[in-house]
Chains A and B, each alone.
Chain A
Amino acid sequence: MDITIAILLTIATAATPLLIAAIGELVVERSGVLNLGVEGMMIMGAVGGFGAGYLTGSAWLGLLAAIAIGALFSLLFAVMTLSLATNQVATGLSLTLLGLGFSGMMGTGFVGLPGQRLPDLYIPGLTTLPVVGEFLFGQDPIFYISIALTAGVAWFLFKTRAGLTLRSIGDSHGSAHALGINVIRYRYMAVIFGGACAGLAGGQLSLVYTPQWVENMSAGRGWIALALVVFASWRPWRVLVGAYIFGAVWIGQLHAQAFGIPVPPQILSSLPYLATIVVLVLISRNKRLTMMNTPASLGQPFVPDR
Chain B
Amino acid sequence: MAAQHDAVPLLGVRGLTKIFGSLTACDHIDLTIAKGEVHALLGENGAGKSTLVKMLFGSLEPHSGDILWNGEPVRITSPGVAKTLGIGMVFQHFSLFEALTAAENIALSLDDGSPISTIAAKARALSYSYGLPLDPDSLVGDLSVGERQRIEIIRCLLQTPQLIILDEPTSVLTPQEANRLFETLERLRSEGKSILYISHRLEEVKRLCDRATVLRHGKVVGHCNPREETASSLARMMVGNEVKAVVREPAEGVETAAVLLEIRKLSRKPATPFSVPLKDIDLDVRAGEVIGIAGVAGNGQGEFFEAISGEVQQPDAASVRIRGKDAGKLSITGRRLLGAAFVPEERLGHGAAPGMKLSENLLLSRHATDARSFLGSGGTIKSAVISGAAQRIIQAMDVRKSAPDPEAASLSGGNLQKFIVGRELDRKPTVMVVNQPTWGVDAGAAAHIRQALIELARSGSAVLVISQDLDELFEISDAIAVMHHGQLSKPLPIAEADFETIGLLMGGAEPGRTEHPLEPA
A and B touch in the complex (CB under 8 A): yes
- B60, CB-defined interface residue at 8 Å: yes
How many angstroms between the C-alpha atoms of A181 and B105 in the bound complex? 13
Q: Which of A62-70, A193-201, A271-279, A288-296 contacts B (4 or more CB under 8 A)?
A: A288-296
Complex interface bits, A163-196 against B, C-beta within 8 A gives 1, otherwise 0: 0110110011011111111000000000000000
- B83, CB-defined interface residue at 8 Å: yes
How many angstroms between the C-alpha atoms of A75 and B54 in the bound complex? 32
Contact partners of A161 in chain B: CB under 8 A: 107, 113
Contact partners of A172 in chain B: CB under 8 A: 95-98
The answer to whether B91 and A167 touch across the interface, beta carbons within 8 angstroms, is: no
The answer to whether B100 and A171 touch across the interface, beta carbons within 8 angstroms, is: yes
The answer to whether A171 and B97 touch across the interface, beta carbons within 8 angstroms, is: yes
Q: From known contacts A291-B272, A306-B60, infer whether A175 and B107 are also in contact, taking CB-CB under 8 Å.
A: no
Contact partners of A305 in chain B: CB under 8 A: 54, 59-60
Contact partners of A165 in chain B: CB under 8 A: 108
The answer to whether A179 and B273 touch across the interface, beta carbons within 8 angstroms, is: no
Size of interface on B: residues with Cβ below 8 Å to A: 26
- B469, CB-defined interface residue at 8 Å: no
Q: From known contacts A161-B113, A165-B108, infer whether A296 and B98 are also in contact, taking CB-CB under 8 Å.
A: yes
The answer to whether A171 and B58 touch across the interface, beta carbons within 8 angstroms, is: no
The answer to whether B273 and A168 touch across the interface, beta carbons within 8 angstroms, is: no
CB distance from A118 to the nearest CB of B (A): 38
- B78, CB-defined interface residue at 8 Å: yes
The answer to whether B107 and A164 touch across the interface, beta carbons within 8 angstroms, is: yes
Which of A164, A177, A306 is B108 in contact with, Cβ under 8 Å? A164
CB distance from A269 to the nearest CB of B (A): 39
The answer to whether B108 and A168 touch across the interface, beta carbons within 8 angstroms, is: yes
Interface residues of A in 279-306 (CB under 8 A from B): 287-288, 291-292, 295-296, 305-306
The answer to whether B99 and A179 touch across the interface, beta carbons within 8 angstroms, is: no
- B413, CB-defined interface residue at 8 Å: no
Complex interface bits, A88-104 against B, C-beta within 8 A gives 1, otherwise 0: 00000000000000000
The answer to whether B107 and A180 touch across the interface, beta carbons within 8 angstroms, is: no
Interface residues of B in 92-115 (CB under 8 A from A): 94-100, 104-105, 107-109, 113
- B339, CB-defined interface residue at 8 Å: no
- B424, CB-defined interface residue at 8 Å: no
How many angstroms between the C-alpha atoms of A167 and B116 in the bound complex? 15
Which of A164, A178, A292 is B100 in contact with, Cβ under 8 Å? A164
| Nearest B residue to A294, CB-CB | B99
The answer to whether A175 and B83 touch across the interface, beta carbons within 8 angstroms, is: no
| Nearest A residue to B113, CB-CB | A161
| Nearest A residue to B59, CB-CB | A178
Contact partners of B83 in chain A: CB under 8 A: 180
Which of A164, A178, A295, A306 is B79 in contact with, Cβ under 8 Å? A178
- B351, CB-defined interface residue at 8 Å: no
CB distance from A304 to the nearest CB of B (A): 9
How many angstroms between the C-alpha atoms of A181 and B109 in the bound complex? 9
How many angstroms between the C-alpha atoms of A65 and B426 in the bound complex? 67
Contact partners of A177 in chain B: CB under 8 A: 59
- B12, CB-defined interface residue at 8 Å: no
Q: From known contacts A179-B108, A181-B108, A291-B272, infer whether A167 and B99 are also in contact, taking CB-CB under 8 Å.
A: yes
Q: From known contacts A168-B100, A171-B97, A171-B99, infer whether A179 and B113 are also in contact, taking CB-CB under 8 Å.
A: no
How many angstroms between the C-alpha atoms of A168 and B104 in the bound complex? 9
CB distance from B348 to the nearest CB of A (A): 15
The answer to whether B99 and A175 touch across the interface, beta carbons within 8 angstroms, is: no
Complex interface bits, A256-269 against B, C-beta within 8 A gives 1, otherwise 0: 00000000000000
How many angstroms between the C-alpha atoms of A181 and B97 in the bound complex? 13
Contact partners of B100 in chain A: CB under 8 A: 164, 167-168, 171
The answer to whether A180 and B97 touch across the interface, beta carbons within 8 angstroms, is: no
- B284, CB-defined interface residue at 8 Å: no
Contact partners of A295 in chain B: CB under 8 A: 99
The answer to whether A179 and B79 touch across the interface, beta carbons within 8 angstroms, is: yes
Interface residues of B in 46-100 (CB under 8 A from A): 54, 58-61, 78-80, 82-83, 91, 94-100
How many angstroms between the C-alpha atoms of A168 and B106 in the bound complex? 11
How many angstroms between the C-alpha atoms of A175 and B54 in the bound complex? 13
Contact partners of A171 in chain B: CB under 8 A: 97-100
The answer to whether A180 and B80 touch across the interface, beta carbons within 8 angstroms, is: yes
Contact partners of B94 in chain A: CB under 8 A: 175
The answer to whether B104 and A296 touch across the interface, beta carbons within 8 angstroms, is: no
CB distance from A99 to the nearest CB of B (A): 32
The answer to whether B104 and A164 touch across the interface, beta carbons within 8 angstroms, is: yes
CB distance from A129 to the nearest CB of B (A): 39
Chain B CB within 10 Å, residue with most, of A172, A174, A175, A306: A175
CB distance from B52 to the nearest CB of A (A): 14
CB distance from A181 to the nearest CB of B (A): 7
Contact partners of B79 in chain A: CB under 8 A: 178-180
How many angstroms between the C-alpha atoms of A175 and B59 in the bound complex? 11
Contact partners of B82 in chain A: CB under 8 A: 180
Contact partners of B113 in chain A: CB under 8 A: 161
Contact partners of B61 in chain A: CB under 8 A: 306
How many angstroms between the C-alpha atoms of A295 and B100 in the bound complex? 11
Chain B CB within 10 Å, residue with most, of A161, A164, A167, A296: A161
How many angstroms between the C-alpha atoms of A172 and B108 in the bound complex? 13
Which 5 A-B residue pairings sit nearest by Cβ, starting from the closest? A180-B79, A175-B95, A178-B95, A171-B97, A180-B80
- What are 19 A-B contacts with C-beta separation under 8 Å? A161-B107, A164-B108, A168-B100, A168-B104, A171-B97, A171-B100, A172-B95, A176-B108, A177-B59, A180-B83, A180-B109, A181-B108, A287-B272, A291-B273, A292-B99, A292-B273, A295-B99, A296-B99, A305-B54
Binding site for A on B (CB under 8 A): 54, 58-61, 78-80, 82-83, 91, 94-100, 104-105, 107-109, 113, 272-273
Binding site for B on A (CB under 8 A): 161, 164-165, 167-168, 171-172, 174-181, 287-288, 291-292, 295-296, 305-306
A172-B98, A180-B82, A296-B99 known; 7 new pairs, CB 8 Å cut-off, are A164-B104, A167-B99, A172-B97, A179-B95, A296-B98, A305-B60, A306-B61
